[in-house]
Structure 1
Amino acid sequence: MKNPRLLVLFLITFLAGLSPIQGHNDPLELEEALIRQRLEALPCLIEPRYVSAVKGYLKTYLVEQRDKAEKILGRALIYFPLFEEELRRAGLPEELKYLAVVESALVPTAISRSGAGGLWQFMPETGASYDLLINAWVDERFDPVKATRAAIIHLRKQYERFGSWELALAAYNSGAGRVRRAVKRAHSTDFWRVRRYLPRETRNYVPAFIAATYLFHYYDLHGLEPRLPSPDLQLTTTIELREPLTVEEICSVTGLLPWTVEALNPAWKKGVIAAHGRSGWLTLPQYAMPAIADYLALRRTDAAALAALDLPLLEPHDQAWRQTTYVLGQGEDLRDVARKFHCHPLHLLFWNHIATLQPPAGSELVVWEPARILRCQPGTAVKALPVVRPAVDIPVRVPLPREKEASDSYIWHRLQRNETLPEVAHRYGVSLRQLYERNPVLQHAAPMAGMRLRIAPRPQALPAEAGGR
C-alpha cells in the first residue's frame, strides 16, 4: 500500500478485530495447547483426555456459565470436607468428591427430570436399597452425611465389579447392566473403546468428571473467583441425633434463623429432626452446637432446669465470626493451620486467594473463627449468654404485632413449585427480612408450594392478590 492513510486504516481495522486470549468471555481463553499441558499434569483419578466432550464442559464452566462455576467452587467449602473425611474412612480416592459436582453441582436439594435427588442424585428405589428413607417427614437422599455414605458403598461396589474407575463411574450413571453389555459388545474393558456402546449421557459422564477436576485445580488461571457462602454454612459441626428436635427449639436456644438451620439440614421436611424414632444428623455452625448439646443434656437429665428456661433464650444477634491474621511459621503449611483453626485447607486457599498448600514462611493468612461459643446451662442468666448471630445479611426473626391486618390491604403471593424466597423477594422488591417479619409461619415451617405469603402493604391501585397466584 503506497497510501499511508490506507495503511494506517488497515492496521487499525485488523488490530480491532483481535481479542486478547485472556478475556474472560472469549472462547479463545480455552487455548488448547495450554489446556492440554495442564491436563497432562492434572492429578486425576482417571486418564484426563482432551476429547471434544471435555472441551465442551470446560467451555461451559470457564466461558459460558462462569457465574455457575463460581457458585460451585464456593459450595465446595460446605461439602468437600465431609466428602474427603468419608472417602478417607472408606479407603477410597478423595478425587471421587468431584463426582458430586457432575451429579448435582453441589446443590443438596437438586432433583433431576428423572426424579433423582440430592448431592449424589439417587433415584428413590436405589436410595431405598442403601437404607435412605423417604417419607412424609424426611428424604434422606438430601441428607449430606447419609447420602455420601450410600454413594461410597455404591461406588465401591461398581469398582469391585469392573476394576476400573472409568467403568465404575459409567455404572454409577447408567447402571451396571448397561456397562456390562457395552463391555461385551466392545470386547474390551477400556472405557474409551467401550464408550461408543454406552448411552449418550453416560458417554459424556467421564469427560464431565475430567472437566470438574480441571475446574478445581485451574479455576484461578481462568479468572474465576469462588462465591463464598456465609461462614455459618462453611464452618460447621455435625452430631447424630437419636431423639426429635425441632427447628423452632434450635432457633430459640441459639438465635439462629430457620433459613440457616434448614439450609444445613435439608433432609427434614416438617421442621423436626430425628422424627418418629429415626436417628438423624444435625449440622449447625461451630459456635452454636455447644448450646444445643447443653440443651439436649438438660432435656434428658434435668426436667426442672429445662422448665425454668425462658425460651427463646436468644434474639437475633451480631458478630458471630471474627477475621484474624495468622503468620505462617517455619515448616508449617495450610494443613497445619487448618487443624489449629478447625477448618479445612480449602477454606484457607479460598479465603486468601492462593493456589498452594505451602506458602512461604512468614505469609500472613486471613482466618475466620467463631467470635464466641454459645452455651445453655442451668443458672446462667439469659443476658450473660454470648450474644452472636450469623454475620451475613439474612432475615432476622422479629415477631409480627398481634393485631390482624385486613387481607385486602396487603399484596399476597402463592409460592410455586421450586420457587425460593429470595426469588419472591427480588420479584416484589422487598427484603428477605421483610418476608420473615410479615409471615410468622416461616419461623417454624419450611417454604413449600402453595404457601400464601404476605408481601407488602398494597397501594390502592393494585389488586389484593398479585401475579394471579
Structure 2
Amino acid sequence: MRNKKWGKVLLPVIVAANIGVVTMILSSASPETKEIIVERETRFEAPELPKTVSFSGEKMPLDRFYVKEALDRELLSNVYFHSQTIRYIKLAPRYLPIIEPILKEEGIHDDFKYLALAESGFNPRAVSPAKAVGFWQFLKGTAMDYGLEVNAEVDERYHIEKSTRAACKYLKDSYEKFGSWTLVAASYNRGMAGVQRQMNLQKQEDYYDLLITTETARYVYRIVALKLILENPEKYNFFVPESEKYPVIATKEVEITGSVVNFADFAKEHGTNYKLLKDFNPWLRENKLTYSGRKRYWVEIPQL
C-alpha cells in the first residue's frame, strides 16, 4: 500500500534536489549555455538530424524516409541515454589516442573508431552473452584466425593495440569482399557469410535496402549516431568540461623475460600493485605466466 505521508515528504525533496542540480550547473555555465539549459529544462526535444552525413566517406541516403527514420531512432536512443553517453564522452580522450593511429597506419577510415565504441562502450573487458571479448568483441575462433593468442593465461582479445590491429585485418578482408565500408561495418556485426547470404537471397547490394536481423539493421545507424554525438556533443546538449574527461595515464613498458610465478610479486617489484597491473594489462588472465621463449611479452606499468 502506498504511504501517503512519505509521498508528501519525498516529493518536495526530489523537486528541491533537481532545482539544486540545475542551480549548481547554471552557476558555472557560460551565458550561452545558461540560455540553452533554462530553455530546455522543462521540455524534451527531438535531436536535429543533419542534412547530410557519411560513414567512412560513403554518404548515407537520408532522402529515403526509412533511412532517415532509422538514424533518428538511434540518435534519440543515445541522446537521451544521458549517463551512458556522458561516460562515452569522458572515456574517448583515454582510448581514442590509442586506436586512431593504428587505424590510420592500417589504412582504415577513422570512423571505425565508433564501431569499437558501439561494440564495447570503450570497455576493454567487455564480454558479450555470446562470449565475444574486448574492445572489438572478438569470438575466440575469429581472434585466433586473425593472429591473437587466446589461452588460459593470455587472451589478446583484451589487448587494445593487438586487438585493434586484428580488427583492421578483418575489416580489410571484408572490404576486399564487399567493396563497401558500410557493408564492412554490417559484416562486423553479422559476419561476412551472414551478410552475403542475405545479399544473395534478396538480390540486393545496398546495406540500406537489405532486410536483415534487427541488431544488424540498426548497427550502422548506431555507429553514425555515436559519431555525430561525439564529434559535436554540445549540439546534442552534452556539456562535459575538459577537466572532467578521463586523461591518458602515462605508462612504461616492461618486457617479461621469463616465467612469472606470481604477478602480485612482479607488480611490487615494478613499483605498482596487482590491481593496477591487471587493470592496465587485462590480457593477462591468470596470476602467473608460463614463458616459453617463443614469443615476447610487454606489460604496461602505470606511472602514477
5+ residue gaps in structure 2?
A: 1-35
Q: CA deviation at 1:238?
A: 4.8
Q: CA deviation at 1:24?
A: 6.6
Q: CA deviation at 1:201?
A: 1.0
Match for 2:240 among 225, 231, 240? 225
Match for 1:189 among 190, 202, 205? 205
1:187 to 1:274, Cα distance in 2 relative to 1, 3 A: same
CA distance in 2, matches of 1:207, 1:185: 23
- Which residue pairs with 2:33 in the alignment? none
- Which residue pairs with 2:69 in the alignment? 52
Q: CA deviation at 1:205?
A: 0.9
- Secondary structure of the residue aligned to 2:40 is coil
- Which residue pairs with 1:282 in the alignment? 299
Ranked by relative contact order (alpha carbons within 8 Å, sequence separation 6 or more), the top structure is 2
- Which residue pairs with 1:174 in the alignment? 190
1:75 to 1:185, Cα distance in 2 relative to 1, 3 A: same
CA distance in 1, matches of 2:73, 2:38: 18
CA distance in 1, matches of 2:208, 2:197: 15
Identity fraction in percent = 26
Computed over aligned residues only, the root mean square deviation of the Cα atoms, in angstroms, reads 2.8
- Which residue pairs with 1:336 in the alignment? none
- Secondary structure of the residue aligned to 2:88 is helix
CA distance in 2, matches of 1:211, 1:180: 25
CA distance in 2, matches of 1:146, 1:228: 25
Which deviations, in whole Å up to 9, do the C-alpha atoms of 1:274-332 show, x marking residues without a partner?
755443342233xx4xxxxxxxxxxxxxxxxxxxxxxxxxxxxxxxxxxxxxxxxxxxx
2:157 counterpart of 1:145: no
Q: Is the 8 A contact 1:273 1:280 kept in 2?
A: no
- Which residue pairs with 1:201 in the alignment? 215
TM-score scaled by structure 1?
A: 0.50
- Which residue pairs with 2:227 in the alignment? 213
What amino acid is the match of 1:107? N
CA distance in 2, matches of 1:237, 1:26: 49
Which deviations, in whole Å up to 9, do the C-alpha atoms of 1:134-159 show, x marking residues without a partner?
22212221111221111110011001
CA distance in 1, matches of 2:102, 2:254: 15
Q: Is the 8 A contact 2:148 2:162 kept in 1?
A: yes
CA distance in 1, matches of 2:42, 2:131: 34
What amino acid is the match of 1:69? T
CA distance in 2, matches of 1:282, 1:25: 50
1:274 to 1:120, Cα distance in 2 relative to 1, 3 A: farther
CA distance in 2, matches of 1:125, 1:183: 25
CA distance in 1, matches of 2:252, 2:77: 34
Q: CA deviation at 1:175?
A: 1.1
Q: CA deviation at 1:244?
A: 4.4
Q: CA deviation at 1:91?
A: 1.7
Q: CA deviation at 1:254?
A: 4.5
CA distance in 2, matches of 1:208, 1:118: 19
CA distance in 2, matches of 1:118, 1:253: 28
5+ residue gaps in structure 1?
A: 1-18, 289-389, 391-469
1:125 to 1:42, Cα distance in 2 relative to 1, 3 A: closer
Q: Structure 1 or 2: larger helix share?
A: 2
1:22 to 1:110, Cα distance in 2 relative to 1, 3 A: farther
Q: CA deviation at 1:268?
A: 0.6
CA distance in 1, matches of 2:162, 2:178: 25
Match for 2:88 among 72, 87, 93? 72
CA distance in 2, matches of 1:105, 1:211: 14
- Secondary structure of the residue aligned to 1:283 is strand
- Which residue pairs with 2:250 in the alignment? 235
1:78 to 1:280, Cα distance in 2 relative to 1, 3 A: farther
Which deviations, in whole Å up to 9, do the C-alpha atoms of 1:407-433 show, x marking residues without a partner?
xxxxxxxxxxxxxxxxxxxxxxxxxxx
Which deviations, in whole Å up to 9, do the C-alpha atoms of 1:75-100 show, x marking residues without a partner?
22232112112112212212211110
1:41 to 1:205, Cα distance in 2 relative to 1, 3 A: closer
- Secondary structure of the residue aligned to 1:88 is helix
CA distance in 2, matches of 1:25, 1:120: 39
2:172 counterpart of 1:160: no
CA distance in 1, matches of 2:113, 2:276: 24
- Which residue pairs with 1:258 in the alignment? 274
Residue pairs, 1:350-389, within 5 angstroms:
none
TM-score scaled by structure 2?
A: 0.75
Match for 1:97 among 113, 122, 134? 113
Match for 1:84 among 82, 88, 100? 100
1:58 to 1:22, Cα distance in 2 relative to 1, 3 A: farther
Q: CA deviation at 1:202?
A: 0.8
CA distance in 1, matches of 2:39, 2:298: 45
Q: CA deviation at 1:165?
A: 0.5
Q: CA deviation at 1:47?
A: 2.4
Q: Is the 8 A contact 1:241 1:274 kept in 2?
A: no
CA distance in 1, matches of 2:41, 2:252: 37
CA distance in 2, matches of 1:58, 1:125: 33
Q: CA deviation at 1:112?
A: 0.7
**Structure of higher CA gyration radius:** 1
